[in-house]
């Protein structure tokens, strides 16, 4: 059974860079058609998709976060990294990684379901 | 403000059938598949429904999804106490350069 685990600091200072890592266990990071995504959930609010990456390195980002986000992948260590620059208190959230299907079955490609999720890690932005 | 709109709360008694709605637009629900997730606080979300009304392996048939136009619904029949959780709808949105969007979530209480 595929497992994902997030790691990183739980506290980040305003204006600094949030850096998190997701490690994939008990499964392949190179499965065709599946991307590795980051999602965050601010306290009391619904989830927000941050972006995702394919094992080849191809990335897609949420347009509202794109200018501050970088997602990278290391297939040799099965790790996916998230960097979010210039953080503010509004970036305080539980950050989760998940595997996401890219569905091209209907002749049009779009990102579909997240089928495996990590437990998530709370990151607080505060001085 | 979430792109997909869900009622913040829903409730039912054991054995009852409850439905949770999710409203969107032609940029998302009206054109693309809807997905439903269940999340018990403090745990990872679990996929309940994909492709509008398909259940992944292992999801009981008490859970069903439907869609009409720009709205979707999740129905839970034979309500059980451990169905108490937060439920989220999600999907692909074509506006701007494309985005995965979620509803704000519905907290289901089993009375």
Tokens 């709205």, residue located:
B71
d(CA B99, CA A110): 9
Q: Looking at the partner chain, which of A46, A103, A119 has a beta carbon nearest the beta carbon of B104?
A: A46
Taking residues A28-50, report their average pLDDT: 93
User: What is chain A's mean pLDDT, rounded?
Assistant: 95
Q: Helix, strand or coil for residue A57?
A: coil
Q: Looking at the partner chain, which of A45, A60, A117 has a beta carbon nearest the beta carbon of B45?
A: A117
d(CA A30, CA A51): 17
Interval B12-49: pLDDT, tens: 999 999 999 999 999 999 999 999 999 998 888 999 99
Size of interface A-B (CB pairs under 8 A): 58
Nearest Cα of chain B lies from the Cα of A52 at a distance, in angstroms, of 10
User: What is chain B's mean pLDDT, rounded?
Assistant: 94
Give the nearest chain A residue to B40 (CA atoms). A119
Quick one: pLDDT at residue A99?
97
- How many residues does this entry show for chain B? 111
Quick one: pLDDT at residue B97?
75
Interval B66-103: pLDDT, tens: 999 999 999 999 999 999 999 999 999 988 778 899 99
Residues A110, B98: C-beta atoms closer than 8 Å:
yes
Q: Looking at the partner chain, which of A46, A100, A110 has a beta carbon nearest the beta carbon of B105?
A: A46
d(CA A78, CA A73): 8
Q: Looking at the partner chain, which of B37, B50, B100 has a beta carbon nearest the beta carbon of A49?
A: B100
Give the nearest chain B residue to A46 (CA atoms). B104
Cβ-Cβ contacts under 8 Å, A114 against chain B: 35, 37, 45, 47
Quick one: pLDDT at residue B98?
82
What are phi and psi for residue A90, nearest 5 degrees? -65, -15
Is A104 or B7 the better-scoring residue by pLDDT? B7
State yes or no: pLDDT of A106 exceeds 80. no
Cβ-Cβ contacts under 8 Å, A118 against chain B: 44
- Under the banding of pLDDT at 50, 70 and 90, the label for residue A81 is very high
State yes or no: pLDDT of A54 exceeds 90. yes
Quick one: pLDDT at residue A20?
98
Residues A113, B47: C-beta atoms closer than 8 Å:
yes
């Amino acid at each position: 059974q595929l497992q994902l685990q997030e790691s990183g600091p739980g506290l980040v200072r305003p204006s600094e860079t949030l850096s998190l890592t997701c490690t994939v266990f008990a499964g392949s990071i190179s499965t065709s058609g599946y991307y590795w995504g980051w999602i965050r959930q601010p306290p009391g609010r619904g989830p927000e998709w941050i972006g995702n990456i394919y094992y080849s390195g191809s990335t897609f980002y949420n347009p509202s976060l794109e200018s501050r986000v970088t997602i990278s992948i290391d297939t040799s260590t099965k790790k996916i990294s998230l960097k979010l620059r210039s953080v503010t208190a509004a970036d305080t959230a539980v950050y989760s990684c998940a595997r996401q299907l890219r569905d091209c079955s209907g002749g049009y490609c779009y990102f579909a379901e997240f089928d495996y999720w990590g437990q998530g890690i709370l990151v607080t932005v505060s001085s | 403000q979430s792109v997909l709109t869900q009622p913040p709360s829903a409730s039912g008694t054991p054995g009852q059938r409850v439905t949770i709605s999710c409203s969107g637009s032609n940029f998302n629900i009206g054109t693309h598949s809807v997905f439903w997730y269940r999340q018990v606080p403090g745990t990872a979300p679990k996929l309940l429904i994909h492709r509008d009304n398909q259940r992944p392996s292992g999801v009981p048939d008490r859970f069903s999804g439907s869609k009409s136009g720009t709205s979707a619904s999740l129905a839970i029949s034979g309500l059980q106490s451990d169905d108490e959780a937060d439920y989220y709808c999600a999907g692909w949105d074509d506006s701007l350069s494309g985005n995965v969007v979620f509803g704000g979530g519905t907290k289901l209480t089993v009375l």
